Amino acid sequence: MTTGSTVFVFNGPNLNLLGTRKPEVYGRTTLADVEARCREAAAGHGLELDFRQTNQEGTLVDWIQEAGAAVTRGEALGAVLNAAAYTHTSVALHDAIEGAELPVIEVHVSNVHAREPFRHHSYVSPVAAGIVVGFGVDGYVLAIDGLVRKVRPLRSV
């Protein structure tokens, strides 16, 4: 495996329902469609994609630590994280990202700042390398591009 050859994309709770849950907010694109777009975006940068979804907070913490270790070993570039509702509630995700020293781009399909007030606060943002909000599922591709530019600025796009 070449140095930094993988990008992780981690998805939190209810994103398995993408395309059917609140399509007026999140659109009709499914998570499988998002994965295909991410795979294409990663390949465009010469990267492999490791794409995952869970409804469990502890599983996300484990994955973040795993990805941080992969970055330390030179096997991965970093991660795109749509923590979904855990964004607004999880100190554990904040601490995991910080502790793993994982380069993370936080992504949200909707503009969380134009929604309910409880969605305006993120525990992920203070430890994220960047944030992509409100571009629909295109935000995932923007986040992959942004991660590459942040981590490999001299070799990016």
Q: Is the pLDDT of residue 60 over 60?
A: yes
Stronger pLDDT, 152 or 90, i.e. the higher one: 90
> Residues of the chain with pLDDT > 70: what percent?
93
Residue 41 Cα to chain centre, angstroms: 13
| Of 53, 103, 113, residue with least CA distance to 83 | 53
List phi, psi (to 5°) of 81: -130, 120
> What confidence tens digit (pLDDT) does each residue in 13-48 have?
999 998 887 777 666 789 999 999 999 999 999 999
With cut-offs at 50, 70 and 90, classify the pLDDT of residue 118. Answer: confident
With cut-offs at 50, 70 and 90, classify the pLDDT of residue 2. Answer: very low
d(CA 97, CA 45) in angstroms, rounded, equals 24
- With contact defined as beta carbons under 8 Å apart, do 128 and 105 qualify? yes
Residue numbering of the annotated binding site: 82, 88, 95, 109-110, 119
Q: Is the pLDDT of residue 155 over 70?
A: no
Q: Which domains does the chain have, with CATH numbers?
A: 6-151 (3.40.50.9100)
Q: Is the pLDDT of residue 156 over 80?
A: no
Q: Any idea which residues carry the catalytic annotation?
A: 26, 108
Average pLDDT estimate for 83-108? 97
What pLDDT is stored for residue 157 in this prediction? Answer: 45
Q: Is the pLDDT of residue 148 over 70?
A: yes
Residue 129 Cα to chain centre, angstroms: 11
What pLDDT is stored for residue 117 in this prediction? Answer: 81
Residue numbering of the annotated binding site for substrate: 82, 88, 95, 109-110, 119
Neighbours of 136 (CB within 10 A): 15
d(CA 119, CA 108) in angstroms, rounded, equals 11
- Lowest average pLDDT, out of 4-8, 89-93, 98-102, 125-129, goes to 4-8
